[in-house]
Chains A and B, each alone.
Chain A
Amino acid sequence: MAVGELGAAGKYASAGDNRPLAIEARGLIKSFDGTRAVDGVDISVPEGAIYGVLGPNGAGKTTTLRMLLGIIDPDEGVRRVFGHDRPHDIGRLIGYLPEERGLYPAMKAVEAIAFMGALRGLPLAEGRRRAAELLERHDLAHAAGRTIRQLSKGMAQTVQLLGTLVHRPRLVVLDEPFSGLDAINQGKLEVLIRNLADDGVTVIFSTHVIHHAERLCEGVAIIAGGRVPYAGSVEAARDRIPAQVRLETRAREGRWMQALPAETRRVGDFFHFPLPETGIEPLLRQLIEGEAGILSLSIERAGLHDAFVAIAGEAAARQLAADNEEAAR
């Protein structure tokens, strides 16, 4: 199914985007012990896209990803991965990095990577060969023969990520991949994700850090309280909030002030107001004619954070911020 045929969930792609869908989920519902963890999630991810599932902890991100991967089945709704209802049927095409990382402590790094490949159908010998290559490419050749328990946390985390990729999947699902990484390794991971997408691999990751999603993703699903109030392109999310105008004038008062929109707030020497629907030119004309004495004027496009607040609500945004602080600690 092409993106253009989808409903609200798939609207982010441009009208000319004819890419087939790597993931398509409609009305996913999952309850645990009577509590609805995911309540009607719709997501569509075209092949080759980098897609973020953005929301605070407990919003239902992991449960959603687990349903997409077939680890658990939804109570209601449908999911398709590369057009298949049963994701295990195309296990060789998928790589998955779970949120709670883990490896066999007594296994050597090269064997751990090869084993993860074997789970996806890669012969062990080929897995070992590729593991050695990957480790070398990521400056970990010296760690190939060491057991996981002998590796540092960051090295072990990298080993698991390489295990996720060793069988060269077409879809990579990463659950909170940036958690626990320092700034340098976060940067490396961003590069890796971009490279995967450049190679045509679809990458979907969950995060509670907005700037990762904003920098990497062409599409996001904002999830809060088990619901997805928005799924679409990052650009469209930002466009939901009108651009903000920041104006500084020499004159403090005057006839020109009548031209400012009703929502205008004054903060110090600056006036802040949403960009009028008619555009900036008519306003500029009135300010000049009213001798406002424009010292500076800037139009700032809304960020994904502003969009998140507007879409998911203040409470979700506050929780997201708290999660970020927690992660930073």
Chain B
Amino acid sequence: MNPDMNARSRLSSLEAAWVIARRDFVAVLFSRAFLFFLLGPLFPVIVGGLAGSIGSQVQREAVSVEIGLAMSEPDNAAMIAARESLRPQLGSALPRLAAVPEAREPGFDARAFLEARRANYAAILSGSPEAPRLVGTEAQVAHWQGPIGLIAASAAGAAPAAFPEVRTEIVATSGASQRSNRIRTAQAAQMLLFLLTMLLAGMVLSNLVEEKANKIIEILAAAIPMDAVFMGKLFAMLGVSFVGISVWGAVGWGLWSLGGDAVTAAMGSDPSDLPAPAVGWGLFAILGIAYFSMAYLLLGALFLTIGALANTVREVQTLSMPVTMMQLMVFFLAAYTITQPGSSLELAALVFPLSSPFAMLARAAMDETLWTHAAALAWQGLAVLALVRGGSMLFRKRVMKSGGAGRAKRRRWRACPGPEALVEPAE
């Protein structure tokens, strides 16, 4: 026996995975593709922002909350004055009122006026404060009938002119509000986790397909166990994901610092107003990172298996579509069960590995129990190992089938694109 063989003759699985992870991490991080990847979320944000702003403007312009007044001039004035007197108490519950100039024309017909679409009134009010007549579509009439009655009563002097002062006292929370508020936090966290996972896990796919195209994979498979190759790739991509998230987080923080109000206006709500999760923000953030890692590793392991089995990008797309749809279903399941704590459906979402990180993160927002998280993370870790082991077995069984039996064996040097590679560029 060779004396060298007494020395340790193989890398441990961790060491082997580290070799792969280090190479992949550096290669991806310093590639041009990573820059485009970082810019990736910018496009949906810009498109979403533009669409949202245009949509809300269109909605603002298209939906009228103005009632046209077609009473006599004093009655119109009385109605407007009554509305103003009620506004401090009722605010946006009252419609805006404006006199219809055309109503001064003799023979003005409110119905014909609205049907002719000559102006953008929600409805037209004629008659008098004592006997008001509201003309409009069924929905508009149903919506404004009550407020108009109140304004008319006030204008006619039938409603109270003064209101007693209501003393108020604010409490931080109540049983009902705490629960409903934490649901908001749980939903926001689940949505963020889902978006990040879907955005980032796809990177793993292209990585392995590229390696197969480069014919590196056989060298890796010969040198170290495929489990270690898969693990290394997964953790490299996870590391790249954290870099991406850090960059996006920093940019987001910068934007928030520069114009938090604009962000709040664009989002329709203030993210900083989200209620504190049950486990507290600090632990929630740590659990968020842990569950993101698990969700990423689980989905990545699935994608890696697909990437290992597919030979072309087209095959990858075909195979990954059902997985993506399944992930969407899993997200819906986890989101649906937020409102059903303790149900068998929630239990299923907690146990099924792919939905478990989402369901558990929601739990962290709503329930302060901690041991369940330790158990869930251990379970998810086991599922990652099982998926990686299964993927590598499939790879060994189904991919390394032939060295070229039955096909022409022209030497193909995958790394060299062609004769042009013979021209050595200046360094």
Contact = CB atoms under 8 A, between A and B. Distances in A.
Interface in B410-427: 410-417, 421-422, 424-425, 427
Contacts of B396: 71-73
Interface in A69-128: 69-73, 82-83, 88-94, 96, 98-107, 115-116, 118-121
Nearest to B9: A90
B23 interface: yes
A326 B215 contact: no
Nearest to A90: B9
Interface string B326-370: 000000000000000000000000000000000000000000000
Contacts of A150: 421, 424-425
Interface string B77-96: 00000000000000000000
Interface string B49-62: 00000000000000
Contacts of A37: 401-402, 405
B161 to A, nearest CB: 80
Interface string A137-148: 000000001101
A156 B403 contact: no
Contacts of A179: 409, 411
Given A32-B402, A66-B403, A148 B10 contact: no
B404 interface: yes
A57 B406 CA distance: 7
B415 A326 contact: no
B224 A148 contact: no
A72 B409 contact: no
A63 interface: yes
A275 interface: no
A149 B223 CA distance: 23
Interface in A273-320: none
Given A91-B9, A149-B415, A153-B413, A119 B402 contact: no
Given A102-B415, A150-B424, A82 B1 contact: yes
Interface in A129-182: 145-146, 148-153, 156-157, 170, 175-176, 179-180
B5 interface: yes
Given A88-B225, A103-B214, A63 B414 contact: no
A327 B412 CA distance: 12
B27 A104 contact: yes
Contacts of B27: 104, 106-107
B2 interface: yes
Interface in B1-48: 1-2, 4-5, 7-11, 15-16, 19, 23, 27, 31
A238 interface: no
B2 A152 contact: no
B95 to A, nearest CB: 65
A91 B409 contact: no
Nearest to A159: B415
Contacts, number: 171
Contacts of A62: 402-405
B24 to A, nearest CB: 10
Interface string B213-230: 011101111111100000
Given A82-B1, A89-B10, A100 B415 contact: no
Contacts of B422: 152-153
A88 B224 CA distance: 6
Contacts of B2: 47, 82, 93, 170
B414 A151 contact: no
B400 interface: yes
A124 to B, nearest CB: 8
A116 B219 contact: yes
Contacts of A93: 2, 4-5, 9
B286 interface: no
A106 B31 contact: yes
A20 interface: yes
B5 A100 contact: no
A61 B416 contact: no
A286 B59 CA distance: 117
B341 to A, nearest CB: 47
Nearest to A171: B2
A58 interface: yes
A146 B424 contact: yes
B2 to A, nearest CB: 5
Contacts of B31: 106
Nearest to A100: B215
B402 A71 contact: no
B4 A98 contact: no
Given A63-B403, A180-B411, A96 B11 contact: no
A248 interface: no
Contacts of B15: 121
A149 B416 contact: yes
B172 interface: no
B321 interface: no
Contacts of A190: none
B408 interface: yes
5 contacts: A71-B396, A71-B400, A89-B10, A99-B403, A102-B215
> Nearest 7 pairs between A and B by C-beta?
A62-B403, A102-B215, A180-B411, A58-B405, A119-B223, A90-B9, A96-B222
Given A59-B405, A82-B5, A121-B11, 12 more contacts: A57-B404, A92-B8, A93-B9, A94-B222, A96-B219, A100-B218, A101-B215, A101-B414, A103-B415, A105-B417, A120-B11, A157-B413
Interface of A: 20, 32-33, 37, 47, 57-63, 65-66, 69-73, 82-83, 88-94, 96, 98-107, 115-116, 118-121, 145-146, 148-153, 156-157, 170, 175-176, 179-180, 323, 326-327
Interface of B: 1-2, 4-5, 7-11, 15-16, 19, 23, 27, 31, 214-216, 218-225, 396-397, 400-406, 408-417, 421-422, 424-425, 427
